[in-house]
Each structure stands twice: as C-alpha cells, then as structure tokens.
Amino acid sequence: MWLIIGFTGQLLFGLRFLIQWICSEIKQESHIPIIFWYFSISGGLILLVYAIHRRDPVFIAGQATGLLVYLRNLRLIYKKEQREKNNKI
C-alpha cells in the first residue's frame, strides 16, 4: 500500500513538468500554468506523507520546504488576480 502511495505522489509530481512543457509549447514561450502548482502541492503532499511513513528526515525536510514554496506561489497568483480584478472596477 505504501509503495502505491509513494508512486502516486511521484506520478503527480512528475506530471507537472509534462503539463508545463505542453502549455509552453502551445504558447510558444515559457509558461507555468496554475495547474502546475496544484500538481506540485498534491504530489508533494503525498510524497511528504510517504516520507513521514518512511521516517526519512532528509526527504521530509525537502518535501515540506517545497510545499511552502508551492503554496506561496499560489497565494501570489491569487493576490495578483485580485489586484487586477479590483483595478478593473
């Protein structure tokens, strides 16, 4: 069961790069879609749970730090959208 959880987290985490690549190819410029951050959070959270189960402090520290960065990026995106929305009114 834990291997399935670990591989699921790794799959979600890896798919974010595929999504980013496809979106960039479509736009013909480097682009990070918002779903990239959701896949980062989902995969990172699942991998953090797996790392805690494995009691791997290096893996735990890496995933926990990454989650903070992903959540902060989403917050910045939503704050910017809110500012832009307020400026249009």
pLDDT value, residue 40: 94
Q: What percent of the chain has a predicted confidence (pLDDT) above 70?
A: 99
Q: Is residue 33's pLDDT more than 90? A: yes
Q: Which residue has the tokens 């959270």?
A: 45
What percent of the chain clears pLDDT 90, i.e. is strictly above it?
89
Tell me the average pLDDT across 44-71.
95
Quick one: pLDDT band at residue 66, thresholds 50, 70, 90? very high
Is residue 44 a contact partner of residue 67, using CB atoms and an 8 Å limit? Answer: yes
Kindly state the DSSP code that residue 89 receives in the 8-state scheme. Answer: -
User: 38 near 69, Cβ under 8 Å?
Assistant: no
- Residue 51 pLDDT class (50, 70, 90 cuts): very high
The structural domains of the chain, with segments of one domain joined by +, span: 2-88
Whole-number Å distance between alpha carbons of 46 and 67: 11
